[in-house]
Amino acid sequence: MTANDLTSYRDLMQPPTRFREGFTMRTVAGAFFVGFIMMPGAIYMGLIAGASLGAAAEWVTIILFSELARRSFSALTRQEIYLIYYIAGGLAGVIGGTMLAGGPFGQLVWNQYLVQSQAAAGFGIAEHIPEWVAPPIGSDALMGRSFLHRAWIPPMVVLVASQFLSRVEWFTLGYILFRVTSDVERLPFPLAPVAAQGATALAESDEGRDSWRWRVFSVGMGIGLLFGAVYVGLPALTGLIASDPIVLLPIPWIDLTRTTETILPAAPLGIGTDLGLVLLGMVLPFWIVVGTFAAAMVHALGSPILYHAGMLTHWRPGMDAILTNFANDIDVWMSVYIGAGAAVGAIGLVHAVLSVRAARRQGGHRPLRNTPAGRGDFPLWIAIGGYVLSTLAMIWLCVLLLDDDEFPLIFLLLFGFVVTPVISYVNARMAGLTGQLVSFPLLREGAFILSGYKGIDIWFAPIPYSDHGRRAQLFREVELTGTRFSSIIKAELLLLPLSLVCGFVFWSLVWQMEPIPSPTFQYAQTYWHLIALRQCLWYSATLGGETLFDQAIKGWWIAGSFVMAGGLFGVMSWLGWPISLVYGFVRGLGGLPHLLIPEMAGALLARYWLEPRFGTQQWRQYAPVLLAGYACGMGLVGMSAVAIALISKSVTQLHY
């Protein structure tokens, strides 16, 4: 990328000359709307269908408050709309894999499941999980399914402390990285204008020019309402009056593993039933989806070959998809994930180094002290001091929790003051130059194992290791919208207590309805077991003695997959093929084909029917809006279902 390229990308969208405050009473009202109205629906949708309401929460809140402002003969400013978008995403976001929404309290819900899970019992780690993670098995706090018990005080204190410190850490380091990469090195951040314009489109819309957004969003919402009524609403409501809810479409997939085991032994096969996966395939880059699907098929269809070759020794006939997948992981595929992931990380690191050298040769730096007037900047010494103090506090919290004089403190110091800043800077530059991020797989896990530490608690401690590189792009987006940085500070100060309060209230209510997971919450009931098995496999690595983890790590498979992924990358680069195929392939190795088959169907439908019909550029504008509308429709069904369920449970628990 030449200096002219950097300049042209950076000039795509310039920040306004005047910066305004986005944190107003209207954005506060929007935050409370998401927290108290959207969050319970997000919790329910994550548990029952494994769906996220993040995009729906952002759209619904922005649209609602824009219309209210318009009918009050005023309009939301660009800065208010962006901040509502930011707050809604923070409150309705989910934890990947488990799909737990509801703020930080979702992690405590996962912890209570983990300590009671078959996976923890089978690996012999349940009794080793510390009480500052979750109350012990048999505790009244777990049996009564209530957070209003003193046994939950230590986990809550650790949760609140780690959440506060991590937010201080990302904000301060993210701001430092932004100042270096954007203000000094003048990197273009090519995706920042897209995100900034998408988040604030309503601020400049009028009926004639942007009416297509409303039409496409309405179509998506209608699809979401109809499908959600069958997929989520029917089992949720019939579960209130019957011991077994009526399910027309199994959630989250139709498992074909036992049906096909005579023909394809040890092959985890199935078909996902969520229509949202098809729409997601329409949005994701086509070659990423192709690579992901190809990897899933290699995993599924290659497993019978490995089984007949005598390499899959843990699989037994009669296993479902979850157990089949985990058994195959132990024998072969976990080592393949590690090797291929390491190759992609190495490729990304090399690419980052080359990009850094090329950009440095182009020059274009300006003094660090120059900042636009009114942007809301604060002295760098405050940011540096805030990062140092928050990291030291996090390290002190880890030492206090681990309570082991033999724990190597040097690992915590290296994570906090070397690894995190270096990785974050590399990815800040990658985001600034290409809009992409580099993955650094298994650094944390490898450090725990190599440190020689014995115990389970290290896996749950709030280690000061994170990648904050993407935060530099966030500050660039804030700058492009003309929003003062002080607005983000105020938003974060509101987000943390609001997410904690709303999460506590709504998770308590949902947990009182039914155990989590249970047949009522079908996604959690089906998929959490696999996640717990994979986590416990890693946790067992520091137990000491011979464990299943030792059987899962196979050096030849790791080396072979590393060479394969690196060689594939080189061949594709030489042939001029899309490199995203490699990244998609590595992404798909750990996934079940159940969820990737409908995703691939959506990608093919978009590329070979919808794009020719509407035009490639036009469809790529339609697809994200259609997906957001679908998520909104599903979310409305989920919110209605959880409201009816909560009312029903409250009435049936009365004694008169």
| pLDDT reported for residue 378 | 84
- pLDDT value for 7: 46
Q: Could you give the maximum distance between any two Cα atoms of the chain, in Å?
A: 78
Percent of the chain with pLDDT over 70: 84
Helices (H), 554-655: 555-575, 580-589, 593-605, 611-614, 616-652
Copy the structure tokens of residue 102: 């509801």
Amino acid at 59: W
Continuous segment of H or E residues that includes residue 43:
helix 39-49
Give the Cα separation of 153 and 166 in Å (integer): 20
pLDDT in tens, 442-454: 778 888 888 778 8
Q: Cα–Cα distance between 409 and 428 in angstroms, integer? A: 27
Stretch 62-77: mean pLDDT, rounded?
A: 73
pLDDT of residue 200: 57
On the question of pLDDT at 239 being above 50, the answer is yes
Residue 172's pLDDT band (boundaries 50, 70, 90)?
very high
Assign 255 to helix, strand or coil: strand
**Contacts (Cβ under 8 Å, ≥6 apart) of 29:** 65
pLDDT at 226: 92
The pLDDT assigned to 157 comes to 93
In this prediction, residue 96 carries a pLDDT of 64
Mean pLDDT of 102-123: 88
Q: Is 96 helix (H, G, I), strand (E, B) or coil?
A: coil
How many helices and strands in the chain, by DSSP H and E? 30, 2
pLDDT of residue 171: 92
58/91 Cα distance (integer angstroms): 10
- On the question of pLDDT at 327 being above 80, the answer is yes
pTM over 0.85: no
Mapped onto helix, strand or coil, the DSSP state of residue 422 is helix
Whole-angstrom distance, CA of residue 195 vs CA of residue 54: 15
Place of tokens 């990380």: 345
- As a dihedral over the C-alpha atoms of residue 265, residue 268, residue 273, residue 278, rounded to 10 degrees, the angle is -110
pLDDT of residue 61 exceeding 80, the answer is no
Whether 217 shows a pLDDT value over 90: the answer reads: no
H or E segment to which residue 120 belongs: helix 118-122
Q: Residue 443 has which token pair?
A: 């650094």
pLDDT over 70 (residue 199): no
Please calculate the CA angle 123-511-238 and round it to the nearest 5 degrees. 110
Are residues 265 and 307 in contact, defined by beta-carbon separation less than 8 angstroms? yes
The DSSP code sequence of 338-400 is HHHHHHHHHHHHHHHHHHHHHHHHH-----TT---TTS----HHHHHHHHHHHHHHHHHHHHH
Q: What is the mean pLDDT of the chain?
A: 80
Helix (H, G, I), strand (E, B) or coil at 264: coil
What is the share, in percent, of the chain residues with pLDDT greater than 90? 12
